Amino acid sequence: MAPSPPHTPDGRYLVVRGRLWRAANPHLPEAQRQSWVRQLMAARREVGLARRQGDREALARAGAAVDAAKRALGERGPVWWDDGAPDYNRHLVKNTPYAAWHAQWTAAE
């Protein structure tokens, strides 16, 4: 099993191949988080099935379900933190304020 990607020190992002991806809202109740994760995984399976079957309508529905789950988890849409910090979702980590942290983290690996 592959190791989990690193999270930024503030827990707002995880780093995958040098890019920041917004993490789920850590303030969600665990039962709610698990429910949305299950829905997300089911929707992703539906995306794959729709693609294999070439069903555009099913693909659109499944994509909307993925988006809804990711928004509910806080990975898309408005940020879940309230200190006014900007959102660096999908930015290369080297072009963000997390660059020095990431350089130290990768050097320690």
50 belongs to a structural domain: yes
Q: What is the dihedral of CA 102, 94, 41, 74, to 10 degrees?
A: 90
pTM: 0.87
State pLDDT tens for residues 49-90.
999 999 999 999 999 999 999 999 999 999 999 999 999 999
Nearest 5°: the CA angle 50, 14, 75 is 50
Q: How confident is the model at residue 109 (pLDDT cuts 50, 70, 90)?
A: low
84 belongs to a structural domain: no
83 belongs to a structural domain: no
Q: How many domains does the chain have?
A: 2
1 belongs to a structural domain: no
Is residue 16 classed exposed, middle or buried when 0-12, 13-18 and 19+ CB atoms within 10 A define those classes?
Answer: exposed
Residues 47, 18: one domain?
Answer: no
Residues 18, 38: one domain?
Answer: no
Residues 12, 38: one domain?
Answer: no
65 belongs to a structural domain: yes
Where in the sequence is the domain holding 55, given as residue range(s)? 29-73
> What burial letters (b/e) apply to 35-64, b meaning 16+ CB within 10 Å?
ebeebbeebeebbeebeeeeeeeebeebee
State pLDDT tens for residues 11-33.
999 999 999 999 999 999 999 99
